[in-house]
Structure formats: C-alpha cells, structure tokens
Amino acid sequence: MTKQLSHIDEAGNASMVDVSHKKTSVRTAIASGRVIFPEAIFNTLANQDFLGTKGSIIQTAIIAGIQAVKQTATLIPLCHQLNVSKIQLDITPKDMALYISCKVKCNEQTGVEMEALTGVSVAALTIYDMCKALSHDIRISDIQLEQKTGGKNDFNR
C-alpha cells in the first residue's frame, strides 16, 4: 500500500477530503507541547503563582486553547467543521517550562488531531504573549500528537 497526501487531488490541487463514506465513531486526540523559560523568568513567574499584570497566565492560556480548538476549521483551510464533545486542556509547571496537554473528543466521521494540536499551539502562543514583557528568550517547543483513537488507524507515541 502506497501512502499519499490526502488533501491533494490527482491534478495536484488542494482538496478537502470527502468523509461522507466514513462511519461516525468516537474519536479522540491528545497533543502536547511546552513553553520553556529562562531560569530567572520561570522562578519569578512561579513565585507569583503564574499571575501576571494581565491576569492568570495559565487560566488565560487554557481558555485561549479551548477557543482555538473550536475554531480550528476556520484557521486551517482544509479541516472539517466538527462538533467537539469534550476539550480538556492542562498546563503544568515543571523544569523551567509550562507543559501543555490538550485532549479533544468528538463523535464524527473524521478525527480531531488538528484540533488538539491547534489547542496546544494557541495556548503556547498565549503564554508567550503574556510573558514576553519579561523576556523574549522564551521558546515554544515539542508540539506533537501523542495519541489518536477512532477511525481507521490509532496512533500512540
């Protein structure tokens, strides 16, 4: 079996995948990433319970990530609009970084990998935005799919 790009048609044009023939099933995806801080900045933020002048850095990033999951189809042109049934976004401070995990669940004809990855990405960007006044030496790193279930192929990193 030869793998092919699913969003390119025979003529090489961008094309949204037709999922009308697929069965509806419960699908989940978990993505992760991290925002890495210089040690002094992380310690300052930790000593302030990650509260900045703009409010709670962690809670704001969680809300931004949840909103992003729900907007994925408007951000990524060939994604299907999905009726998401659950979003769980967690942010944990550890080792000079904020670790982000986003789990998305739906009962649809296509998966939610892009939604989970988008949630992590926007949460990370929100953290950067809220902390950039302290330092621009903040890195967003390791955004990746950890797991997906449902559909034709499951994946577990």
Tell me which residues are annotated as active site. Answer: 129
- For 153, the 3-state DSSP assignment is coil
Report DSSP letters for 27-86, one per residue.
EEEEEEEEEE--HHHHHHHHHTTTEETTEEHHHHHHHHHHHHHHTHHHHSTTPPP--EEE
Nearest-angstrom CA–CA distance, 90 and 34 = 11
Q: Report yes or no: 126 and 50 within 8 Å, Cβ to Cβ.
A: no
Instruction: Work out the end-to-end distance of the chain between its first and last CA atoms, rounded to an integer number of angstroms.
Output: 22
Angle value at C-alpha 151, between 145 and 153, nearest 5 degrees: 60
